[in-house]
Amino acid sequence: MGVRSISDRQTMLKKGAGIFILALFCVLGIALAQRHGLLDDLNIGLMGAAGRARDTSGGAIVTLLMQIASAVGGTVGRLCLLALALAFLWRRARDRAIWLLLLVIGGTLLNLALKQVFAAPRPDLLPHLDIVHTYSFPSGHSAGNMMFFGALAMLLGTRRAYGAAAVMIALIGASRVWLGVHWPSDVMAGWIEGLGWLMLCAVWLPARRGQQ
Contact by Cβ (8 Å): 141, 186:
no
Q: What is the mean pLDDT of residues 73-80?
A: 94
Q: Which CATH number fits domain 6-204: 1.20.144, 3.30.450, 2.60.40, 1.10.10?
A: 1.20.144
Q: Is 196 helix (H, G, I), strand (E, B) or coil?
A: helix
Give the separation between CA 123 and CA 156, rounded to whole angstroms: 37
**Of 192, 59, 197, nearest to 138 (Cα)?**
192
Report in angstroms the alpha-carbon separations of 122 from 33, 74, 141, 154. Answer: 16, 17, 14, 32
What tens digit of pLDDT does each residue of 56-65 get?
999 999 999 9
Segments in 73-183 forming alpha helices (H): 75-90, 94-118, 140-156, 159-178
pTM: 0.92
Instruction: With cut-offs at 50, 70 and 90, classify the pLDDT of residue 212.
Output: very low
Catalytic residue check, 182: yes
Read off the DSSP letter of residue 210.
Answer: T
User: Helix, strand, coil proportions of the chain in percent (round to 5)?
Assistant: 75, 0, 25
Domain ranges in the chain are 6-204
Give me the pLDDT at residue 209, please.
52
Catalytic residue check, 133: no
Give me the pLDDT at residue 91, please.
86
**Of 183, 200, 70, 185, nearest to 147 (Cα)?**
200
Q: What is the mean pLDDT of residues 153-174?
A: 96
What tens digit of pLDDT does each residue of 165-211 get?
999 999 999 999 999 999 999 999 999 999 999 999 999 998 765 44
Residue 80 has pLDDT above 90, yes or no: yes
Segments in 157-183 forming alpha helices (H): 159-178
Contact by Cβ (8 Å): 142, 176:
yes
Give me the pLDDT at residue 210, please.
44
Q: What is the mean pLDDT of residues 106-129?
A: 96
Q: Is 34 helix (H, G, I), strand (E, B) or coil?
A: helix
